[in-house]
Chains A and B, each alone.
Chain A
Amino acid sequence: MAIRALYTGASGMGANAFNLDMIANNLANAGTTAYKQSRANFEDIFYEHFKLPGVQDNAGNITPTGISLGLGTRVQSTEGDFSQGSIIPTTGEFDMAIVGEGFFQVNDGIQTLYTRAGNFSLNANGDVVMASADTGYLLEPTISIPQDAINISISGDGVVSYQQQGSNQIQTAGNIQIARFINNQGLLRQGDNLYQETTGSGSPQVGDPGVEGRGSLRQFFLEQSNVEPVRELVALIQTQRNFELNSQVVQAADQALQTVANMRRF
Chain B
Amino acid sequence: MIYGMYLSAQGADSNSVRLDVLSNNMANANSTSFKRDIPIFRMNPPHDAKEGPLNGLPGDLENHTGGITLEEIRTDFENGSFIATEGELDLALKGPGFFQVVRDNETLLTRNGSLSLNADHQLVTADYGLPILDERGTEIEIPVEAVRIEISLDGVVTPYDQNGQSLGSVGQLAVVMPTSLEELVKLGEGLYTTEGRVTPLEGPVNIQQGFLEASGTNSIEEMMELVSASRLFESNINMIKLQDDSLGRLLQSMPRR
Number of CB contacts from chain A to chain B under 8 A: 222
Tell whether, in the assembled complex, residue A65 and residue B223 are in contact, meaning their CB atoms are under 8 Å apart. Answer: no
Category for how many chain A residues contact B: 35 or more
SS of B interface (majority):
mixed
A64→B20 contact, CB < 8 A: no
| Contact in complex: A65, B127 (CB < 8 Å) | no
Q: In this assembly, does A126 line the interface, its C-beta being within 8 Å of a C-beta of chain B? A: no
A-B CB contact pairs (8 Å), 12 listed: A1-B20, A12-B29, A19-B30, A43-B127, A64-B182, A71-B188, A79-B116, A100-B147, A100-B162, A202-B119, A212-B145, A252-B229
| 7 nearest A-B residue pairs (beta carbon) | A12-B27, A70-B24, A5-B23, A8-B23, A46-B188, A65-B72, A213-B147
Interface segment, one of A51-59, A109-117, A137-145, A161-169: A51-59
A contact face: mostly helix, strand, loop, or mixed: mixed
Q: How far does the alpha carbon of A260 sit from the alpha carbon of B234 in the complex, in Å? A: 8
Picked from A67, A242, A249, A256, the residue with its CB within 8 Å of the CB of B233 is A256
Contact of B98 with A by CB under 8 A: no
Chain A residues lying within 8 Å of B212, measured Cβ to Cβ, are: 41
Chain A residue at minimal CB-CB distance from B120: A202
Name the residue in B20, B23, B86, B118 with the highest tally of chain A Cβ atoms < 10 Å from its Cβ: B23
Flag whether A39 is at the interface (Cβ < 8 A). yes
Contact flag A8-B185 (CB < 8 Å), given A256-B230, A259-B234: no
Q: A63-B72, A68-B73 are in contact. Are A245 and B26 (CB under 8 A)?
A: yes
User: Chain B residue with minimal CB distance to A248?
Assistant: B226
A69 at the interface (CB under 8 A from B): yes
B187 cross-chain contacts in A, Cβ below 8 A = 47
Q: Does B17 contact A (CB under 8 A)?
A: yes
Which residue in A2, A44, A72, A76 is a CB contact (below 8 Å) of B16? A2
Cβ of B189 and Cβ of A44 under 8 Å apart?
A: yes
Q: Bound state CA distance, A92 and B182, in angstroms?
A: 63
Q: How large is the interface on B (under 10, 10 to 19, 20 to 34, 35 or more residues)?
A: 35 or more
What per-residue 1/0 map shows which CB atoms of B1-45 lie under 8 Å from chain A? 000000000000000110111111111111110100100000000
Q: Is A253 an interface residue (CB 8 A)?
A: yes
8 A Cβ contacts from B171-197 to A: 180, 182-183, 185-190, 195
Does any Cβ of A come within 8 Å of B209's Cβ? no
Using A66-B73, A200-B119, A248-B223 as known contacts, say yes or no to A255 and B188 having CB atoms under 8 A apart: no
Return chain B residues, CB-CB under 8 Å to A79: 87, 114, 116, 126
B112: min CB distance to chain A, Å: 7
Partner of A68, one of B119, B186, B234: B186
A51 to B70, CA, bound (A): 11
Q: Does A133 contact B (CB under 8 A)?
A: no
* Cβ-defined contact, B26 with A249, below 8 A: yes
Decide: B241 and A41 in contact? CB cutoff 8 A. no
Closest to B147 in A: A213
